[in-house]
Structure 1
Amino acid sequence: MIELFPEGLDILALVGIVILVAYIVGQVFRQLRIPQVVGFIVAGTLLGPSFLHVVPNELNDNLTFVTELALGLIGFEMGEHLRFSELRKLGKSILIIVILQAIGAFTFVAGGVYLLTNSVPAALVFGSIAMATAPAATVDVLSEYGAEGPMTTTLLAVIGIDDALTLLVFSMTAAIVEPLLVNGASMSFGDLLSGQGEISLIEMIELPFFEIGGSILVGMVFGFFLTQVMRRINTHHAPERRQHDAMSVSIAMIFIATGLSRSVDMSLILTTMVMGLVVVNRYPEHGHFIRFTIEQAGPVVYVLFFALVGAGLDIHV
């Protein structure tokens, strides 16, 4: 195992090294016309325990907030693209794509796992996991290439709805599978509806609906509040200060919304996505404030986030 830096190097130095190396590798990949996010992940893998061991596993554990912040910013950026005027035109196609993608992914993966393992619980779990999309990488690529228009709006709307749908299906699947695996229990559909089995239908759906509904509610509250603050900034602050003041308030609100979502086990991406959606639709003129916030705060956070994702990979497994 190669170690380029002394053990016990300060965490700030390690973070700086990770950001610098990931940025350089990302630029190299960009020159090769490969999305820079691939370079960030490759750089993290090279710096991680699998190769150079610059980034120990403990660093990932100490920087979990970076992941949460990155996902919060990504959700906020997704919401900024979801204008109701465009969603109304694309609503039917978005719904069709979400349904086909979710059913297709679940069916093919669950069927394949069942054929390989002959295990219904494993098939259900892997099928529900397969429904999930990758909002972080998708948003980073769209941002890198400056993608705009109906295709981008459709893609981001599909990702957002799919995030909520996956949460619902996975929670219900886990509720069914857990008693089967732990206790070897079994239940009929009648038991499920009547509540006479290990779990009831109400218990099965109340948690995911709390997570989804709570995320939407918190996102709306923070979005309305941020809109009011931005209106005040736009009215009372000097023109040269508006963007930076709006950015400071936006980042603070994203921090709070993200932390609150994590504290009560809600979907932080859904929360901040609704927050961005409310702001951009309630006061469209604030769109440039949101873009400025993301352009200033996003790059460093995204570089570190994807590099840490790569560092967490163990190629020996």
Structure 2
Amino acid sequence: MDGDNETMVAEFLLLGLSGKSEQEEVVFGMFLGMYLVTISGNLLIILAISCDPHLHTPMYFFLANLSSVDICFSSVTVPKALVNHVLGSKSISYTECMIQIYFFITFINMDGFLLSVMAYDRYVAICHPLHYTMMMRSRLCVLLVAISWVITNLHALLHTLLMVRLTFCSHNAVHHFFCDPYPILKLSCSDTFINDLMVFTVGGVIFLTPFSCIVVSYVYIFSKVLKIPSARGIRKALSTCGSHLTVVSLFYGAILGVYMRPSSSYSLQDTVATVIFTVVTPLVNPFIYSLRNQDMKGALRKIMLRS
């Protein structure tokens, strides 16, 4: 134990995605470009929704929250990697790493909860259109978002506290561009059984509950859509769900493949998958929702004309 205490790490080394300097230059350029587009794209979505009174509806309220979370989600991981590259450093302090893990878990869960709330909103709009205004009151919308924030923060706090209790000895090299919980767990010289157990139990519930709500909502939506007699009505109903389904598939497809397995099985392929939902998904969300939505395109056009 004395030897372990003497070699306990005070920082971790983020080796990046490739570990080769020439490839890291390319990765840096890609990450910088994608991060700037992510921030500007999501800010435009928030600005369009806040400035256009026609978009002051529950669906766009949730979309504005999703864009805000996507900005925070990208800002947790990407800026540190960019700064390290500019400074020629690969280090991140132990405290910074734990803080990064906390907010990473918070925002990734918040994305899932907001996607499930948006699925419920689409279910009410399509299956109960006459009662939509009464069922989706502004107070309920705010309450759903607030409850989601409370649950995700408590979940992140649980996993971060469990991570803090672990001992990290001489090995501190992380083959990633940020403090992903699974690669960090693999570096611990303590028993990580409790951590893995919490990932499968509490983490599984937190991940799969929103996913199950999304699946159930769309089962009801598709059963309703199939009863619509006109092809135009079917296309109109599906057009309101197409953007959301695209984002859900991209987000959950990557996450379920990475985190619903033991941390010991984490591999290079999983690192690539994490790039999809930490960098790519927040980037494409604004384009998916704006390019497939006439109201959003109209609001963005008004902002451009005013500028």
TM > 0.5: no
TM-score, normalised to structure 1, is 0.35
TM normalised by structure 2 equals 0.36
